[in-house]
Structure 1
Amino acid sequence: MNSIWAIGLVAALVSPPDLSAVDGHVAAYLAEASYPGVAVAITKGDRVIATKGYGRDSTGAPLTEHSKMAIASVSKSFTALAVRQLADAGKLDLDRPVRTYLPEFEVADPRGGRITVRHLLEHTSGITDRTFAEKSLPQPDTLDGAVRRAKQATLAADPGAEHRYTNTNYHLAARVVEVVSGENFDDHLRKHVFEPLDMRETVAIDVTPRDLPAGYRTGHGYAYGFSVAVTEPHRFVAGSDGVVTTAADMGKWLAAQGRLRPQEGLGWVRDGRGLRHNGIWFTATAGQLLTSSGYGVAVMANSGVGLGNEGTSQLEDGIADLLDGKVPAQPSSFRLLTDLVLAALTLLSVALGVRALRRPRRWPRPWQVLRFVPVGLLVAAPWLLGLLYGGGRDITFFQLAHYSLPLVVWLGVSSVMNISVAVVRWRR
């Protein structure tokens, strides 16, 4: 009797998970979060269990496991691996100063000489988006240019003292790979990471949208309940968020992690579920998760980050729960609700403005200054949003319009109406 029970237990342990439940959960998430499409890869140990596309791309064609997708900052795991490979080969030391390998590296702070390669990978260099606005500044074309641009950076803390996420750290780390290996960074990833893992559909790029590969379909923005195909803004992404891949290749990547030995802090973050990293573009989102139970999950969506859509973590967690035999949380999204509230505020601003213009009342002149508050909020919106929702991340006004067009429209309409009312009342 005990032997029969043992045989049944072994069979249960090795039996594949119910992927039909995964299909249903992904479909529900697509509908709830208003995602046009996602691609998913699932692994168990070193085995690929499933790779699949759901929904459609921006041309209306079905997404498949071979559709080219941006993985945004999930790319940092690949950069970290390239650095670690060079360290394992004895070609660099993670705890040596960056200047050991990049003598030209400088920042506008004397503490910069103490920044090590490990500090870059762990985001503890002291450089932050607030001390160096990497998205707002003119964008470089090369990693060498990114190093020269970083001379403007100051430090928010001593190297090694605080964790502050910024793409600049991985631009610099990628340049270290170039100099130490003597190879172009993108070529190095291809030769030493992608090809050894048989990731033949994967490339790394330097600048969006200029370098996006043939076959890559434009991602989407979202506004007022509609997903609209939009082009990713011009940005420098080498080393930080420039990998474009497929679900088929991400399955190979996750299946290889057992022998690649991913390390917390070096391109991976640990939480209660395991090791993971997310990624956000303004037209795409992605995430990867290695669970403590041995599963790997990668999700790539062709819809960008925005108010009510901060990434794919909820979907990765739901799939992981199903794989572990748990009941996942019901998919939820405040995306549509957020935009409807902003739409209502926009209409309210118009109505109140028209009413004030038709029935003008004289305010004491000092109070008229309050009419300019919406203009101030509009101008400061990129800074405020980055501070409140991004932990101090940098964003340009043009990128803010990709992040939340309804927010920009509301502030813009409110500004125009209030300025008009202020001018009329001031003249009266």
Structure 2
Amino acid sequence: MLTSILPALILSVTILAPTATAPTTAAPAAVDAAAIDALVEQYREQTSLPGVAVAVTHGTGVVHAAGYGHTPDGAVVSAHTVMAAASVSKSFTALAVMRLVEDGRIALDDPVRAHLPEFTMAGPRAADITVRQLLDQTSGLSDTTHRSFSGPPVHTLAEAVAAMRDSEPAAEPGTRWEYHNPNFQVAARLVEVVGGVPFAEYLRRYVFGPLGMRDSGTADTERDLPPSARGHVKVLGLPVALPEPPAFGNGSGGVLTSAHDLAAWLIAQNNGGRGPDGTAVSTPRSIAETHTPSAVSESYGLGWFLGATPSGARLIDHGGDLFTSTAYQALLPDSGHGIAVMANTGLRHGDAQELGERLIALVEGRQLAPAGDPSAVVDAVLLVLAPVVAAAAVRGVLRSRRWADRRRSSARLVPLVLPLLLLATVHRLVGYLYRGRDVAWLQVPYLYPTFMVLLAVASLGGVAVLVARSVAVSARRADAG
């Protein structure tokens, strides 16, 4: 019984993936502070989202920048609450690189190693990787050959680059697109070395400062997250505050910012590099370059995804996922709107992107179906199964002597080890489900907490039955001898 339910449990993991909601037609709503507040509060009520910050801009003006709910330590979320931007950070790294390009200090098609000699990898392919290929994710670097999450921990950008020395690209540079966080860690280290100052300082001087983003900074690892930037996972639909699991993320996911600051950033992106007061942090040409698809992928530029909204309008966006928080930003060039969301629930729930899509629908006059979270039902089922599995294990232990008396083959004990083997390697299975992405074992409970509880119960129960039956078999053989 312990092993027969496991295939069904594995399949249940996929149920937790976010599902798209079908749009319905409705009269266009006014995109103003009141409409945004109503939409966000309705979403929070439907999903039990504890805290979120939102910015909506139009042209060079801020329509609304506000916070809702609370942080894990109970503080009220405001427009100035510092939260994690996660992979939205990639667009900041791309702009930092473009500043160096504008100054003539590097060129996008230069080999990375020409400016960053410390960037060495196994095999010859890495020598051909260009700066552009880091930013458009066509470098050939891959989670399949360099495990940045499950590998040895790193704490600085220099260490992140050094940790790649024994890895090799999985493909020839410039031949395929693959999302890989270390691309942007190498790019951020390039900014440090060529720019001559730490990456955080470079952003402060040339991006955050000129745009008036006084709340913003960067984090290297989860230890650098302030209390306001930590988040939750949901169990049975209820938020549970947890610390972010260990990981390095500067350059690829380390920006810390606020709704107030992201409003200025969105305006600069929609205004040729000029912020709300007209201060330029980039040129129109550089901004356009980051919003232009690569030669390999029509859906990715330099730190931005490129696509269309359900209404067919141009969409330039990027999501960001940590295990206890998410972020999302979107530019709508046709209407001149910008949207940013930071939510303090993890990637399992996708609240930032889901809410961002609803704000896009508001701008376009579309109405989406009410939000829902099917994971609460799945959690309930898995938690109900846990005591059932435990009871089956107790029954197996108590009847171990009877099992041995039936002279059953010891080979029939092998399935009892399977839950433990799955528990030990579950991060590899999850990585496969996430299309080959690298996942550390400690990150899996953040994705599937109740599944891991059930798997742990099954593992302990299987081991207990295995030991009890092995002892019973030995005792029967001793009696027979």
Q: TM-score, normalised by structure 1?
A: 0.91
Which residue of structure 2 lines up, in the alignment, with residue 295 of structure 1? 337
Which residue of structure 2 lines up, in the alignment, with residue 325 of structure 1? 365
Whether the aligned pair in 2 keeps the contact of 1:287 and 1:316 (CA below 8 Å) is yes
Give the partner amino acid of 1:422.
L
Whether the aligned pair in 2 keeps the contact of 1:70 and 1:300 (CA below 8 Å) is yes
Whether the aligned pair in 2 keeps the contact of 1:57 and 1:302 (CA below 8 Å) is yes
- Closer, same or farther: CA 60–181 of 1 in aligned 2, 3 Å: same
Question: Of 79, 82, 92, which residue of structure 1 is paired with 2:93?
Answer: 79
- d(CA) in 2 for partners of 1:420, 1:212: 40
Deviation at 1:117, TM superposition (A): 0.8
Give the partner amino acid of 2:225.
L
- d(CA) in 2 for partners of 1:100, 1:150: 17
1:148-184 Cα offsets, whole Å, 9 max, x none, are: 1110222211111121111111110001111111111
- d(CA) in 2 for partners of 1:336, 1:107: 44
Question: Of 18, 40, 49, which residue of structure 2 is paired with 1:35?
Answer: 49
SS at match of 2:330: strand
Give the partner amino acid of 1:421.
V
Question: Of 142, 149, 163, which residue of structure 2 is paired with 1:128?
Answer: 142
Which residue of structure 1 lines up, in the alignment, with residue 412 of structure 2? 367
Whether the aligned pair in 2 keeps the contact of 1:29 and 1:332 (CA below 8 Å) is no
Whether the aligned pair in 2 keeps the contact of 1:241 and 1:279 (CA below 8 Å) is yes
Give the partner amino acid of 1:356.
G
- d(CA) in 1 for partners of 2:235, 2:109: 46
- Residue pairs, 1:340-379, within 5 angstroms: 340-360=380-400, 361=403, 363-379=408-424
Question: Of 220, 233, 236, which residue of structure 1 is paired with 2:245?
Answer: 233
- Residue pairs, 1:44-83, within 5 angstroms: 44-83=58-97
Question: Unmatched 5+ residue regions in structure 2?
Answer: 1-26, 274-286, 293-300, 310-314, 474-481
Question: Of 226, 232, 256, which residue of structure 2 is paired with 1:244?
Answer: 256
Deviation at 1:311, TM superposition (A): 4.9
Which residue of structure 1 lines up, in the alignment, with residue 7 of structure 2? none
Which residue of structure 2 lines up, in the alignment, with residue 270 of structure 1? 306
Question: Of 220, 228, 231, which residue of structure 2 is paired with 1:216?
Answer: 228
Whether the aligned pair in 2 keeps the contact of 1:140 and 1:146 (CA below 8 Å) is yes
Greater than 4 Å deviation, 4+ residue runs: none
1:320-351 Cα offsets, whole Å, 9 max, x none, are: 11122111232122231232232133233123
Question: Unmatched 5+ residue regions in structure 1?
Answer: 1-11
Which residue of structure 2 lines up, in the alignment, with residue 385 of structure 1? 430
Give the partner amino acid of 2:145.
T
Give the partner amino acid of 2:397.
L
Deviation at 1:305, TM superposition (A): 2.1
Give aligned pairs, total. Answer: 411
- Alignment root-mean-square deviation, CA: 2.0
SS at match of 2:164: helix
Give the partner amino acid of 2:326.
T
Q: Name whichever of 325-334 and 60-69 sits farther off.
A: 325-334
Whether the aligned pair in 2 keeps the contact of 1:287 and 1:311 (CA below 8 Å) is no
Whether the aligned pair in 2 keeps the contact of 1:33 and 1:335 (CA below 8 Å) is no
1:70-91 Cα offsets, whole Å, 9 max, x none, are: 1111001100011112112221
Which residue of structure 2 lines up, in the alignment, with residue 283 of structure 1? 324
- d(CA) in 2 for partners of 1:154, 1:178: 23
Which residue of structure 1 lines up, in the alignment, with residue 177 of structure 2? 163
Question: Of 175, 178, 182, which residue of structure 1 is paired with 2:189?
Answer: 175
Which residue of structure 2 lines up, in the alignment, with residue 8 of structure 1? none
SS at match of 1:256: helix
Whether the aligned pair in 2 keeps the contact of 1:278 and 1:311 (CA below 8 Å) is no
Whether the aligned pair in 1 keeps the contact of 2:291 and 2:306 (CA below 8 Å) is no
1:192-231 Cα offsets, whole Å, 9 max, x none, are: 011111111111122221x235x63532233333322222
1:415 lines up with 2:472 in the alignment: no
Q: Name whichever of 326-335 and 190-199 sits farther off.
A: 326-335
SS at match of 1:333: coil
Deviation at 1:59, TM superposition (A): 2.2
Which residue of structure 1 lines up, in the alignment, with residue 31 of structure 2? 17
- Closer, same or farther: CA 28–356 of 1 in aligned 2, 3 Å: farther
